[in-house]
Amino acid sequence: MNKFKDVLKVFFNTILELIYPEKGICFICEEYDAVVDETHICKKCFNELTFVKGNICTICGKPLELGYLPDRCPDCIRLNHYFEKVISPLEYTGFVKKAIYKYKYGKKAYMYKALGPILVQAFKESDINDIDIIVPVPLHKSKIAYRGFNQSELLCRYISKILKIPLDIKNFKRVKKTEVQNKLDKRERIKNVKNAFKVVNNDVFKNKNILLVDDIYTTGATVDECSKTLLKAGANKVYVLTLATVPIRYF
C-alpha cells in the first residue's frame, strides 16, 4: 500500500512540474510570487539559505573555525582524499537542511530546478575549468524504486544542460546495498561504502576529468570511495560538487 502511495506521490509531483509555470512559483516554499524567475526560488527563501563563507578548507570546502591557521581542516590534514577538491556552496543546517530533506524524502523531484542554479553558480565561481564528464553519485536500484528518483542525477542533468558539459548516468553504478550513512560514525561510514561502486566500461572514463555530484558532504566517505573507484577505472582527476556541507562542529 505504501509503495503504491509513493508511486502516486511521484506521479502527482511530476504532473505538478508539468503544469507549474516556468516563472512565478517558488519551488521551495511553493508560494506564488510574480518576481520569481526560472530559478524558482523566492527572495525570502533565498535569504534563508546559509551560504558557506569565510575561510574554507581548500580540499573539502568545509568552513574553518575562526583563527584556524592552516588552509585545511583537521580531517584533510590527517588523510589524503582521492578527489582533488570539493565545492559546496551551502551549509547543511537549518533551512538548507529542511529544503534538501523536502527534496529527497518529500518526493518533490521538481525542486532540482530551485537547487540546480545554486550549484551552477558555485561551479562558475570555482577555479575548476577542465571537466570532461559530469557523473552523479549513484543510488542502489532498490533506493531509486523507493524514492522514485536519484536526487543527484536530476541536479546533474540540470548542471550539464546549463554548463554544456556531457553527462554520464549509465557507466557508474552502486552495486552494494549500503546502510543509511547518517546513523553511522566516520569509521563505520568508510566501511559501509567500501566496494559499493562499480564502473561498467572503463573506456568511458579513461583519462577524463570527472565532476562527481552529490547532495550532501558529511565526512566525505561516499565521494571518496566513488573517486577511488573512478580513478581505478582510469579517470584522470575527480572533483566533487555537493549542494551542502555539514560544518565540522556538527559531526
- Which residues of the chain form contacts with Zn ion (CB under 5 A)? 26, 28-29, 42, 45, 57, 59-60, 73, 76
Output 60 or 210, the one with its CB closest to Zn ion.
60
The CB-of-89 to Zn ion minimum distance in angstroms stands at 16
**Helices in the chain by DSSP H: which ranges?**
2-19, 43-48, 74-78, 94-105, 112-125, 141-147, 151-163, 186-193, 202-205, 221-232
Interior/surface letters 177-198, b for 16+ CB within 10 angstroms, e for the rest: ebeeeeebeeeebbebbeebbe
Q: Is 95 helix (H, G, I), strand (E, B) or coil?
A: helix
Output 76 or 87, the one with its CB closest to Zn ion.
76
Output 26 or 131, the one with its CB closest to Zn ion.
26
**Residue 221, exposed/middle/buried by CB under 10 A (0-12, 13-18, 19+)?**
buried
Output 63 or 138, the one with its CB closest to Zn ion.
63
Distance CA(181)–CA(164), nearest Å, equals 32
Q: Is 38 helix (H, G, I), strand (E, B) or coil?
A: coil
- Determine contact, residues 58/88, Cβ cutoff 8 Å: no
Output 61 or 138, the one with its CB closest to Zn ion.
61
Distance CA(110)–CA(9), nearest Å, equals 12
The CB-of-78 to Zn ion minimum distance in angstroms stands at 9
The CB-of-165 to Zn ion minimum distance in angstroms stands at 25
The CB-of-76 to Zn ion minimum distance in angstroms stands at 3
The CB-of-26 to Zn ion minimum distance in angstroms stands at 3
Output 73 or 199, the one with its CB closest to Zn ion.
73
The CB-of-95 to Zn ion minimum distance in angstroms stands at 10
Kindly calculate the radius of gyration of the chain based on its CA atoms and give it in whole angstroms: 18
